[in-house]
Amino acid sequence: MRDALTFLRGPRATSFLLVIPAMALLLLLFFYPLVTLFLTTLQAENIGNYAAIVGNGTYMRVFLNTLRLAAIVTAIDLIIAYPLAFYMCRLTPTGRNVAFFLLLIPLWTSQLVRTYAWMVLLGRNGPINSALMGLGAIDGPLPLSNGEFAVVIGMVHILLPYMVLPIYSSVSKIDHNLVEASRGLGAGPISTLTRVLIPLTLHGVLAGVSLVLVLSLGVFIMPALLGGGRVPVIPLLIEQQAGSFLNWAMAGTFCVVLLVMVMMVFWLIKLITRLLVRGRIDV
Amino acid sequence: MNIDTRNIVLDVEKVRKTFGSVEALGSIDLCVSAGEFLTILGASGSGKTTLLRIIAGFETPDSGRIRIRGADMTWASAAERQIGMVFQNYALFPHLNVLENVMFPLEMRKVRRVAAAERARATLDAVHLGAFADRYPKQLSGGQQQRVALARAIVFEPSLLLLDEPFSALDRRLRESMQQEIKQLQTSLGLTTIFITHDQEEALVMSDRIAVMGDGAIQQLGTPNEIYYQPNSVAVATFIGESNLFEGAPDERSFRATSGAQFSLMSSTECTRMLIRPEAINLRRESSAADPKELNVFSAQVLDRSFVGGLNIYRVRISEGDEIRVHVVAREAAVYAPGEMLQLVIDPADCRPLGEKANP
């Protein structure tokens, strides 16, 4: 037993064995199909797809719409998550456990179930419209479902934990003395926020932003079920090409374009992080 | 100590604070005059941190007033009070470099950037950190971080400087040199300073006056000499310095301990306790030519000796049965072996009756 442990913990060469299963799985199931996909889109009979996509105004509008939707969802999540993370840090340990539980429930339930729940909630005769009409606030039902509004609500809901958790982690590492030091040195609440708290949580914010942006670029279920066909995004184009037109090569090309967009977002945020996050902060 | 009222920088008046049902501070009164170095000395739980936080503006008192330079600041925010504070863990901003940290309070006071940088550099020079302006706090040693914290606390010329156990994280040698340096800086700049500590040695070395805190009250307020030589209670006597305490009863101009040992005093007293500092006691080998008029001579047997370099610390038992600690300057001639019979002599001026407060 002891020998086995020393063997496992031992020199780098032997401990490398521990990552082999994970690496093998990733290579086989993730990296290999991805490379195959990329190479397929580059084949002579398929390479024209790239030109077709770039030359097509409708496709380009869908790309921009995807980015716009992702940006809106990310912004709303950030506005909700930032104060929430501070609030959670000030809770008692029990309160914090409850808050985490509530926050993580969305991650434990099926996306599909939650999307259907939103369809019911936002529906023409759903509880929200009934309540508003019952109160006499509106005369007829509001068109809440089947549109961008519903898609944004659904995506904000699903992706919120990905924004809260990194921000919470950065906020919880702030030494409370720093806030008192800032106040004691003459800073008001606004200066303390802009000069101390925001700079110290920036890496958490950027991590959350990159997670939510990237995930919202690839969301399929929400636009498909809550969009009512009015919210065109890249994942829908991919599904359409592969499912309806059986044009697998074109779907693959869209996949590559989406992947490139995601990588550019990552790269951009990494650049911003390097420019903005200064000093020696323990991340 | 007569206090010139025009020179009072901080005036704490009847400040009380309770947390839930626990009384943290019970009616504190305290005045600090300009240029003074006042130490608030107390064990943890004595209320010293609560008092500091109320003075700094991080906590509000249940009742009472805080005045700074005559202005009522009881309800003012920390930012409005113009107090420079050095935190126990320094609380340097990790995302700002040394110069920016020191410039921070100036920026908050809308000092123009060029002027602020100039003043910050001058202050950094004063704490011998001029060469480190571009470093980040994480790249500095503990002592250097503390100098930055000090520079940041004094760069805006605050009316009051608060030091919250600033030396506790430093090793002994560094602590001593920082103590000297801060004391020099404080004297040369005339900084009115309140220093919080639990370390009695630090308090004695640095202070003009010491306020000994315990159980949410100031037990005694006085100069280091007063606190050390004339403690007003057992609590203060045992907290500061080493002590031999005797219980007993006064007997005209002497004090009779419960063991029967009789100590002559300088004047009559009504106290039932007496303090003798271990270093005020003399030990000598019995001499044939003893002065018969000499007071407080006891015969004593050495129980054990510990040698700590500059001092020999003896535990002796006098013939009446009391065990007494004696500190003797470590001359080689004054090395006594356990079991040796000696004479123990105490000047009556060093026998201090302790006025005990009502509560035991």
The A residues from 187 to 226 touching B (CB cutoff 8 Å) are 187-188, 191, 195-196, 199-200
Q: What residues in A contact B136, CB-CB < 8 Å?
A: 278-280
Q: What residues in B contact A196, CB-CB < 8 Å?
A: 93
DSSP notation for B99-136: HHHHHHHHHHTT--HHHHHHHHHHHHHHTT-GGGTTS-
- Identify the residue whose tokens are 């998550």: A81
Within a domain: residue A120? yes
The token pair that represents A143 in the structure block: 């068109």
Are A161 and A22 contained in the same domain?
no
Among A178, A185, A279, select the one facing B108 at the smallest CB separation. A185
State the Cα–Cα distance between residues B248 and B351, nearest whole angstrom: 13
The token pair that represents B306 in the structure block: 């510990």
Which residue in B has a C-alpha nearest to residue A279's C-alpha?
Answer: B95
State the Cα–Cα distance between residues A44 and B11, nearest whole angstrom: 87
Within a domain: residue A51? no
pLDDT for res A283 = 38
**Rounded (10°) angle between helices B98-108 and B113-126:** 130
Q: Using alpha carbons only, give the angle B33, B35, B39 rounded to the nearest 5 degrees.
A: 75
Question: Nearest CA to CA, how far is A267 from chain B (Å)?
Answer: 23
Are A35 and A61 contained in the same domain?
no
Within a domain: residue A244? yes
DSSP notation for A96-110: HHHHHHHHHHHHHS-
With an 8 Å Cβ cutoff, is A21 touching chain B?
no
Among B89, B97, B105, select the one facing A177 at the smallest CB separation. B89
The B residues from 22 to 61 touching A (CB cutoff 8 Å) are 56-58
CB contact under 8 A, B137 and A280: yes
| C-alpha dihedral sign at B46, B49, B54, B55 | positive
Question: Nearest CA to CA, how far is A176 from chain B (Å)?
Answer: 9
Please tell me what DSSP assigns to residue B274: E
Q: What residues in B contact A178, CB-CB < 8 Å?
A: 91, 93
Question: Nearest CA to CA, how far is B166 from chain A (Å)?
Answer: 14
State the Cα–Cα distance between residues A53 and B84, nearest whole angstrom: 63
Among B87, B94, B105, select the one facing A279 at the smallest CB separation. B94
Are A36 and A82 contained in the same domain?
no
Among A187, A199, A280, select the one facing B139 at the smallest CB separation. A280
> Of B8, B16, B22, nearest to B60 (Cα)?
B16
3-state SS class at A232: coil
Are A144 and A92 contained in the same domain?
yes
CB contact under 8 A, A191 and B152: no
- When scoring A185, A190, A195 by the number of chain B Cβ atoms within 10 A, the one with the most, hence best to mutate, is A185
Within a domain: residue A47? no
pLDDT for res A81 = 95
> Of B28, B245, B248, nearest to B236 (Cα)?
B245
Tell me how far apart the terminal alpha carbons of chain A are, to the nearest angstrom: 36
Are A156 and A190 contained in the same domain?
yes
State the Cα–Cα distance between residues B237 and B228, nearest whole angstrom: 7
State the Cα–Cα distance between residues B175 and B166, nearest whole angstrom: 9
Work out how many CB contacts closer than 8 A connect A with B: 81
Question: Nearest CA to CA, how far is A175 from chain B (Å)?
Answer: 8
- When scoring B108, B110, B111, B194 by the number of chain A Cβ atoms within 10 A, the one with the most, hence best to mutate, is B108
Question: Nearest CA to CA, how far is A279 from chain B (Å)?
Answer: 4
Which residue in B has a C-alpha nearest to residue A176's C-alpha?
Answer: B91
Within a domain: residue A73? yes
Q: Indicate the fold that domain B5-237 takes in CATH.
A: Rossmann fold (3.40.50)
Are A117 and A65 contained in the same domain?
yes
Which contiguous run of DSSP H or E holds residue B154? helix B142-154
With an 8 Å Cβ cutoff, is A184 touching chain B?
yes
Are A7 and A107 contained in the same domain?
no
Among A188, A278, A280, select the one facing B79 at the smallest CB separation. A188
* Low-confidence residues in chain B, pLDDT < 50: 1-2, 357-360
Are A88 and A1 contained in the same domain?
no
Are A3 and A133 contained in the same domain?
no
* Low-confidence residues in chain A, pLDDT < 50: 280-283
pLDDT for res B70 = 85
CB contact under 8 A, B138 and A280: yes
With an 8 Å Cβ cutoff, is B77 touching chain A?
yes
Among B57, B93, B105, select the one facing A196 at the smallest CB separation. B93
DSSP notation for B6-33: GGEEEEEEEEEEEETTEEEEEEEEEEEE
Are A116 and A36 contained in the same domain?
no
Q: How many CA atoms lie within 13 A of B18 on its CB side?
A: 6
ipTM for the complex? Answer: 0.77
Within a domain: residue A267? yes
Domains in chain A: how many in total?
A: 2
With an 8 Å Cβ cutoff, is A70 touching chain B?
no
Within a domain: residue A49? no
Question: Nearest CA to CA, how far is B133 from chain A (Å)?
Answer: 13
Among B87, B95, B152, select the one facing A177 at the smallest CB separation. B87
Contacts of B219 (CB under 8 A, 6+ apart): B212, B213, B232, B233, B235, B236
State the Cα–Cα distance between residues A151 and A216, nearest whole angstrom: 11
Contacts of B102 (CB under 8 A, 6+ apart): B120, B123, B124, B148, B151, B152, B155
Q: Indicate the fold that domain B242-353 takes in CATH.
A: OB fold (Dihydrolipoamide Acetyltransferase, E2P) (2.40.50)
Extended strands (E) in chain B: 8-19, 22-33, 37-42, 63-68, 71-72, 83-86, 160-164, 193-197, 209-214, 217-222, 244-251, 254-257, 262-264, 273-276, 281-284, 297-307, 311-318, 323-329, 341-346, 352-353
Residue A126's domain is classified under what CATH number?
A: 1.10.3720.10
CB contact under 8 A, B136 and A280: yes
- Long-range contacts, stretch B332-339, CB < 8 angstroms, 24+ apart: B334/B283, B335/B305, B336/B283, B336/B285, B336/B302, B336/B305, B336/B312, B337/B302, B337/B305, B338/B302, B338/B303, B338/B304, B338/B305, B339/B301, B339/B302
3-state SS class at B298: strand
Within a domain: residue A227? yes
Q: What are the extents of the domains in chain B?
A: 5-237, 242-353
DSSP notation for B277-296: -GGGEEEE---SS--TT--S
- Within this chain, domains B5-237 and B242-353 share the same CATH topology: no
Domain that holds residue A195: 56-276
| C-alpha dihedral sign at B191, B194, B196, B199 | positive
